[in-house]
Amino acid sequence: MTEIQIADHAETLDAVARHLGAARRILFITGAGISADSGLPTYRGIGGLYNSGLTEEGIRIEDALSGDMLAIRPDITWKYLAQIEHNCRDAGPNDAHRAIARLEADFATVVVFTQNIDGLHQQAGSRRVIPIHGDVHRLRCEHCGNRETVPSLEDRPLPPVCPRCEGEMRPEVVLFGEMLPEDELGRFYDELEKGFDLVFSIGTTSVFPYIAQPVVWAARAGVPTVEINPGDTRVTPYITYKLALGAAEAMNALMERLGAAA
């Protein structure tokens, strides 16, 4: 984004910065767009990797990355998981991840509810992260329950084989058609019950109800909501402040304003 585009959003940025400066409990809901400045492709939305067609097998990416496909054709599911992992492997947190981590150090409570499986929020230093879809670098044996955290899938057979029992391992991620993890969902609902006084939606098209609903609930309760996304999404009609900017650009501009006000 250019300085001119930032200037176009100056009034909105000023207003959001004022809310940030006064907030005690802040919720960040994040999707693939927040990691775009780390070099990771989004899978939907502007510039989405799978926007315009089917996979090489002639199926939708949602079907390739589904629990049903893992059961009957694990080679297909692991092929696309390996693509995702390869993209994540050398990426590091960007300014948006780091800004959220800094806010956590400066404010009473900052909760990150992320769809991303890249682990970049944690790498940036955020501690209250709820990775609702898991982590692509964590594996679990479906036979003996052995768990591993692996830095790379590059030297592993696909599907990976358990080093303990030689059973087939699965990714500790939520595939399409699978249930969300109860522990992580419970943590999120516990945080929602405590309430938030500012809610951000960053880099997500909000196609899943559990991603959109917290924004809708906040809006109906009179809680200010902020969307950082170059395009409009399903939650845009409920948003108090819309920043049609990239995540890193917008968060840098907000942090500059907070610094100037300190």
Say yes or no to pLDDT of 183 above 60.
Answer: yes
Domain range spanning residue 125?
A: 1-39+92-133+179-262
**For the chain, how many structural domains are there in total?**
2
Residue linked to tokens 């002639």: 58
Residues 84 and 190 in one domain: no
Residues 226 and 190 in one domain: yes
Helical (H) or strand (E) element with 173: strand 169-173
Torsion, Cα of 57, 118, 216, 98 (10° steps)? -150
Spatial separation of the C-alpha atoms in residues 240 and 97, rounded to whole Å: 22
The pLDDT of residue 48: 47
At residue 234, the 3 state secondary structure works out as: coil
Residues 169 and 190 in one domain: no
Q: Is 175 exposed, middle or buried (0-12, 13-18, 19+ CB in 10 A)?
A: buried
Listed residues 173, 202, 230: the one ending a domain: 173
Mean pLDDT throughout 227-242?
96
Spatial separation of the C-alpha atoms in residues 26 and 195, rounded to whole Å: 9
Query: Which listed residue (19, 97, 133, 137) is catalytic?
Result: 133
Residues 190 and 241 in one domain: yes
Q: Is residue 97 annotated as a catalytic residue, yes or no?
A: no
Say yes or no to pLDDT of 90 above 80.
Answer: no
The pLDDT of residue 61: 86
Residues 202 and 255 in one domain: yes
> pLDDT tens-digit profile of 106-117?
877 999 999 999
Name the pLDDT band for 124 (thresholds 50, 70, 90). very high
Measured in whole angstroms, the distance separating CA 146 from the mean position of its chain's CA atoms is 26
The number of beta carbons lying within 10 Å of the beta carbon of residue 146 is: 15
